């Protein structure tokens, strides 16, 4: 047992080193565009994992992720923009004097983005989590739209529909992937704690969970708030990646994309979400080809249709739900236990064949 623990520890270190090496290589050999896509994938990995905590592990059908991202993105944007560019950008109505001269360093601003989103999650969760299933989905979707509309209309704070530009840019692969890895580690840690067990029990059967003495509402609110925190964090990172935010970015379609990642990767699988985040983000770029005008063997000519990518992803989602409902990973995780088990079995089989 101890030996196995040590093997796993070493494997973990090796794995992290390999990832670090990969990031190092990417940082020096990929062009700006490719790095940007990979950074976006890291953000989607954070989003996927955090929605999976809420949807896959606690069983709450929440569609509010875009709203929480919006909160996180605006928080960090307002806090980190230089007073000079604020004075230029807020030309419809001047910025609220309290915010005009603030300029925070990036790290605390991004963290505060997450914390503000968590506060919103807590406040929204309080009434909304009394609902279940589809009703909860509709309520959270509604709240997410309400956030967007508030942001559009509080012009002295958010500059309304014009959005914000000149947000300090972060380009390094390290920052985004470090954030993604930390998110994964934290959520994994939570899932292996008594909270995590309570979440899964609630997902499986609320009545039985309550009969075990689990405080259902408290744990749902906890899971929802943690999910909102990481969504806010991802939103904040996104603001620094794109360097501009406006309310239309955080429409429902965005939540749908995160949902696609969770379902594709497997509800209840952290590693599944990460893999799916990579596939979907990179796929979205690669599939830009299908939006170009196409000529199929001179027989059919397809004009360039923007949105074809979404059609392909919708079909993909449909196929997954029809034929492979558990997603790439189901509720399984890619971890060392699983791998070592496979290896042992392979060894056994080889020995069996040799004998």
Among 110, 128, 214, 258, binds another protein (CB under 8 A): 214
Among 172, 192, 205, 341, binds another protein (CB under 8 A): 205
**Shortest gap between Cβ of 216 and another protein (angstroms)?**
8
In order of 66, 71, 113, 114, 166, the CA distances from 239 in angstroms are 13, 11, 10, 12, 10
Among 212, 286, 302, 343, binds another protein (CB under 8 A): 212
Among 203, 220, 240, 309, binds another protein (CB under 8 A): 203
Q: Which residues contact 335 (CB under 8 A, 6 or more apart)?
A: 271
Query: CB under 8 A: which stretch of 86-94, 130-138, 158-166, 213-221 binds another protein?
Result: 213-221
**299 vs 290: CA distance, rounded Å:** 17
**3 vs 248: CA distance, rounded Å:** 53
At 133, is the secondary structure helix, strand, or coil? helix
Q: Which residues contact 305 (CB under 8 A, 6 or more apart)?
A: 291
Query: CB under 8 A: which stretch of 38-46, 101-109, 183-191, 209-217 binds another protein?
Result: 209-217
- Residue 60 is a binding residue for another protein (CB under 8 A): no
> Residue 247 or 268: which CB sits closer to another protein?
268
* Terminal Cα distance for the chain, rounded: 28
- Kindly state the number of chain residues that form the binding site for another protein, as judged by CB under 8 A: 19
- Residue 130 is a binding residue for another protein (CB under 8 A): no
- Residue 207 is a binding residue for another protein (CB under 8 A): yes
- Residue 211 is a binding residue for another protein (CB under 8 A): yes
Encoded tokens for 283: 């796929």
- Residue 154 is a binding residue for another protein (CB under 8 A): no
* Unique residue bearing structure tokens 């983005």: 113
């Amino acid at each position: 047992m101890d030996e196995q623990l040590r093997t796993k520890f070493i494997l973990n270190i090796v794995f992290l080193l390999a990832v670090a090496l990969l990031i190092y290589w990417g940082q020096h050999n990929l062009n700006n565009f490719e790095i940007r896509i990979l950074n976006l994938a890291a953000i989607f990995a954070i989003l996927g994992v955090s929605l999976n905590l809420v949807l896959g592990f606690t069983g709450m059908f929440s569609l509010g992720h875009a709203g929480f991202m919006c909160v996180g993105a605006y928080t960090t944007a307002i806090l980190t923009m230089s007073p000079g560019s604020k004075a230029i950008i807020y030309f419809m109505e001047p910025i609220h004097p309290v915010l005009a001269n603030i300029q925070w360093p990036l790290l605390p601003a991004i963290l505060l983005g997450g914390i503000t989103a968590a506060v919103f999650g807590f406040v929204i969760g309080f009434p909304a989590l009394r609902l279940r299933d589809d009703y909860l989905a509709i309520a959270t979707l509604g709240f997410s739209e309400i956030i967007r509309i508030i942001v559009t209309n509080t012009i002295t704070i958010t500059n309304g529909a014009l959005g914000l530009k000149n947000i300090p840019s972060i380009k390094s692969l390290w920052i985004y992937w470090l954030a993604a890895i930390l998110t994964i580690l934290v959520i994994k840690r939570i899932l292996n704690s008594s909270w995590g067990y309570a979440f899964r029990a609630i997902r499986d059967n609320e009545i039985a969970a309550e009969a075990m003495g689990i405080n259902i509402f408290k744990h749902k609110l906890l899971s929802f708030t943690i999910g909102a925190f990481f969504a806010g964090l991802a939103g904040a990172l996104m603001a620094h990646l794109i360097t501009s935010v406006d309310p239309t970015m955080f429409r429902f379609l965005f939540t749908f994309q995160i949902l696609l990642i969770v379902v594709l990767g497997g509800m209840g699988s952290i590693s599944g979400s990460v893999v799916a985040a990579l596939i979907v983000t990179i796929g979205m770029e690669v599939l830009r080809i299908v939006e170009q005008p196409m000529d199929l063997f001179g027989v059919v000519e397809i004009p360039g249709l923007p949105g074809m990518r979404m059609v392909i992803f919708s079909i993909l989602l449909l196929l997954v739900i029809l034929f492979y409902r558990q997603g790439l990973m189901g509720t399984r995780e890619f971890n060392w236990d699983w791998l070592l088990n496979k290896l042992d079995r392979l060894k056994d089989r080889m020995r069996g064949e040799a004998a």
